[in-house]
Structure 1
Amino acid sequence: MLRTAMEKANRNVAGIPSPYKRGKHDPGVKHNNDTITFAEYHIDSFPRVPARWCRKDTKKEYLESILNKEKMYTLYKENCSELKQKCISKTTYRELLIKKNIGFHIPKKDQCWCHHFEQLKENEKTAEKLHDYEIHIRRKIAAMEEKKIDSLKAKRDEHYVSANFDLEAVLYSPLLFAKPVFYKR
């Protein structure tokens, strides 16, 4: 280290070593704002699945369980090649996902028709779909009231039994997604 300082001092006419140069160069890979904005737009094009069971505890947003970071990055690269855009690296894409606080996981509760209706675009919300949604809400409220009545009756009457089952957990059924065509809208 001393030898290097002396060599630098000897190179200079005044005998003073050259100034400290660490951290003075531009980063090797620097993405322009348009590339980053395009990647963020791509991430935002995926609809979020509401975290009904923990939304008061976290600000994290969730994407459907059929997605993961690899699939999203592959779709991003395909989108870039179609639109002739410059791609960011996989690492930078993952950093954007972390910055946006986005996660992936299988919902703990099955999702009803409410979620499907909420994900529709305004021009897709027809009178028929709105009517179906209202019927669904009425039936849902009626079912909750019946469950509550049965629960109270079971507590009061020892000869009456009320049981609830999560049929999705008990019966073998295919895994269904709330909106499987999330990216083809």
Structure 2
Amino acid sequence: MGRTAQQKISPTGTLEKDKRGGRQSAADIERDQLIRQEISDHIDRFPRVESHYCRASSTREYLSSELTKKRMYNMFIQEWIPKARPPSFTTYKKVLKTKNLSIHHPKKDQCSLRINYLKGMEEMKSTLQDRYETHLREKIKVREIKDQCKNAAKVDKEILCGSFDLQQVIYLPMS
């Protein structure tokens, strides 16, 4: 053990904490905060996507599934004006993480009527308005019926309740 290490031994026999690094000037701290604010402002410009399936149980916001963290970072770097070295991808990801955002990857298919209505131009929305509202009412009614069947099956063991999405996958009974 070197002489410097021996001088750092406390009376209890432990070494004192290493004091290297960790010191930043006020200018460095301010520069880092400004960079993080620029990253945050950049991220805030991306539109949020409503989570179709877990919006009731989550406060997380979602970005379009067409985005990736790397693509967003590359867009940020393209806009980076200062002559100084740009922030790292890791810094960008850390700021993104503090915003409670995720890239939205739909786990289930969304119906084409909903997609056309929500993403369509105003003329398309006006023509689809009645059909879309009828679709929503039917969806609510079907969910109510499904819940009634599930509750009846919970109470009475003679009742069996099954639910299948026949447009997504065709289930065939097997014996």
CA-to-partner distance for each residue in 1:79-113, whole Å, 9 max, x for gaps?
A: 11xx3475321111001111111111322232524
Match of 2:109 in 1: 109
User: What amino acid does structure 2 have at the position aligned with 1:102?
Assistant: L
Structure 2's unaligned 5+ residue stretches are: 9-15, 146-163, 170-175
Is 1:92 aligned to 2:67, yes or no?
no
User: What amino acid does structure 2 have at the position aligned with 1:88?
Assistant: P
Query: Mapping of 1:163-182 within 5 angstroms?
Result: 165-166=166-167, 169=168
Q: Tell me the percent identity.
A: 28
Q: Secondary structure at the match of 2:62?
A: strand
- In 1, the alpha carbon distance for the partners of 2:62 and 2:56 equals 14
Query: Mapping of 1:60-71 within 5 angstroms?
Result: 60-71=60-71
Query: Mapping of 1:27-38 within 5 angstroms?
Result: 27=24, 30=29, 31-38=31-38
Distance 1:137 1:23, change over 3 A: farther
Match of 1:26 in 2: 23
> Of 129, 132, 136, which aligns to 2:128?
136
Q: Spell out structure 1 runs of 4+ moving beyond 4 A.
A: 5-8, 27-31, 144-149
Structure 1's unaligned 5+ residue stretches are: 9-18, 118-127, 153-162, 171-185
- In 1, the alpha carbon distance for the partners of 2:35 and 2:138 equals 54
- In 1, the alpha carbon distance for the partners of 2:104 and 2:24 equals 35
Higher RCO (C-alpha under 8 Å, 6+ residues apart): 1
Q: Secondary structure at the match of 1:62?
A: strand
Aligned CA RMSD, in angstroms, stands at 4.0
User: What amino acid does structure 2 have at the position aligned with 1:22?
Assistant: K
Cα deviation for residue 115 of structure 1 reads 3.1
- In 1, the alpha carbon distance for the partners of 2:60 and 2:138 equals 34
TM-score by length of 1: 0.55
Q: Secondary structure at the match of 1:112?
A: helix
- In 2, the alpha carbon distance for the partners of 1:62 and 1:21 equals 42
Q: Secondary structure at the match of 1:55?
A: coil
Cα deviation for residue 4 of structure 1 reads 2.6
CA-to-partner distance for each residue in 1:100-155, whole Å, 9 max, x for gaps?
A: 111113222325244326xxxxxxxxxx82x6434423211234556759xx8xxx
Q: Secondary structure at the match of 2:41?
A: helix
